[in-house]
Amino acid sequence: MTLPSLTALEARIRDDLARIAHPRASWLTPRVAPDGSAALDVLVVGAGQSGVVTAFGLKRSRVDNVLVIDKAPYGEEGPWVTFARMQTLRSPKDFTGPDLDIPSLTYQSWHEARYGAAHWQALDLITREDWNDYLLFMRRVTEIPVENDTELLSLSQAGELVAATVRDRDGERTLHARKVVLATGQDSTGRWWMPDFVERVAPSLRAHAADTIDFAALKGKVVAVLGAGASAFDNAATALEAGAASVHLFCRRLEPQVIQPYRWITFRGFMKHLADLDDSWRWRFMSRVMGLREGFPQATYDRCARHPNFLLHTGAPWTAAREEAGRAVVTTPHGDFAADFLICGTGIAMDYAAKPELAAFHDNIATWGDRYAPSAEEANDRLAAFPYLSPDYQFMEKVPGQTPWIANIHLFSIASTMSFGPSGSSINAMTTAVPRLVDGVTKGLFAADVEANWSTFLAYDVAQAEVRQTVPGLGIAAE
């Protein structure tokens, strides 16, 4: 049921959007797909916050022939009610993003309409469930077209178009689009990674932090967590709250990383213009940020530390793992440790071949390692594997000319970070990153239509005024 205050907010949003809709003129030349159907101007893959806000930004630029697809069912797009296990967002409540600087669309406006202004003032951090509800509200009120339960299987060239094979409840079909935006989340260009020796342990004894985990089954069990980032702590806390006998978190560093470098780079100049710097500065900044890794806030640590059966082991990377008597045994520099279940909060490995949608061109994606050679002190193989993107978020070719059509595929995810800093995976960067992405997409669409636009311009003959009285010359009397 829609609350009266939310109904009033919806009316306000629609009025605001109508007031800033200039220019309203349609400007794109339709394309026909090889099968005779109308091609999309843009297909956005992923209906989480990045995909929906990208579609909204395109809509504001009068790119209306857009479809967003997501393999998840309605309400489960993104991590918020699936594998995100923090209780609240880590961003301050007043960070804006999906609203694209429209006050009535901010989270604060939605929260006050739902709970009241006093509740907002008393709020510390936004719950992930409320954030998920807000994103669904924003998607509905801006009328973004989304098809859920629709998975992208492959991308290929179809003349000047991109053919996207998808699978939904009715089977497989092909969508054609002039441009594709991959807003496919954290594992968009790779896979959730854990050490090979952990993967060789029986699946019943281990999981990645991004997996579906039956935490209730861990009641009374000994749990070992690898990693000391925020998500590792979140999983440790969830296991403790589910009644685990003890939870041991293993950190490879001698001291956990408590500085959050992303807080420093959250200012307009950096977020908007990092991508305008040369490669050496971009690498220097982002290798420092990503080399430190993401820190965890006090509340995340306290959520674990309040339990007396939580132990943090520092200077204790896992170097091996085995099964023994129905348990998992990990090896550390301090000896072996036996647990009933292992959880790896170990992030993502770049692995283009692991993504079916990238299969047609995975071996020709230019990486940072292909385009930039840092000093020995700044070298980092993990970061060198990130895609080297164009200024418009497009994939670039490792070998020019082999797959030129991938210039029609724009990547807007955590894999964009090395090229753009906070962008496709960051709430607070949306107000700068989405407009840049949208400008890149529309620039390509406009350039491809330039001849059609010229012809239309030459044929333009709409009179702006009607002149009804004329004198065919000036009569002058002879002397």
pLDDT in tens, 149-187: 999 999 999 999 999 999 999 999 999 999 999 999 999
Give the span between the Cα atoms of 296 and 298, in whole angstroms.
Answer: 7
Give the span between the Cα atoms of 274 and 271, in whole angstroms.
Answer: 6
The answer on pLDDT for 257 being more than 70 is yes
The answer on pLDDT for 294 being more than 80 is no
Pair 148, 169: CB distance under 8 Å: no
pLDDT tens digit string along 187-245?
A: 999 999 999 999 999 999 999 999 999 999 999 999 999 999 999 999 999 999 999 99
The answer on pLDDT for 41 being more than 60 is yes
Q: Which two tokens stand for residue 163?
A: 């053919």
Give the span between the Cα atoms of 110 and 30, in whole angstroms.
Answer: 36
Give me the pLDDT at residue 2, please: 60
Q: How confident is the model at residue 296 (pLDDT cuts 50, 70, 90)?
A: confident
Question: In angstroms, what CA-CA distances link 256 with 87, 262, 295, 301, 303?
Answer: 21, 16, 8, 11, 16
The answer on pLDDT for 297 being more than 60 is yes
pLDDT tens digit string along 105-119?
A: 999 999 999 999 999
The answer on pLDDT for 1 being more than 70 is no
Q: How confident is the model at residue 295 (pLDDT cuts 50, 70, 90)?
A: confident
pLDDT tens digit string along 383-417?
A: 999 999 999 999 999 999 999 999 999 999 999 99
Q: How confident is the model at residue 469 (pLDDT cuts 50, 70, 90)?
A: confident
Tell me which amino acid residue 475 is. Answer: G
Pair 252, 316: CB distance under 8 Å: yes
Q: Are strands 151-158 and 161-168 parallel, antiparallel or unpaired?
A: antiparallel
Give me the pLDDT at residue 291, please: 78
The answer on pLDDT for 302 being more than 70 is yes
Q: Which two tokens stand for residue 453?
A: 């636009």
Pair 174, 164: CB distance under 8 Å: yes
pLDDT tens digit string along 124-144?
A: 999 999 999 999 999 999 999
449-453 mean pLDDT? 95
Quote the Cα angle for 239-241-245, to 5°: 60
The answer on pLDDT for 472 being more than 80 is no
Give me the pLDDT at residue 30, please: 95
pLDDT tens digit string along 47-83?
A: 999 999 999 999 999 999 999 999 999 999 999 999 9
Give me the pLDDT at residue 478, please: 54
Average pLDDT of the chain is 95
Q: How many secondary structure helices (H) and strands (E) does the chain include?
A: 16, 17
Question: In angstroms, what CA-CA distances link 286 with 227, 270, 280?
Answer: 21, 11, 10
pLDDT tens digit string along 308-330?
A: 999 999 999 999 999 999 999 99
Closest-CA residue to 302 (of 244, 243, 240, 260): 240
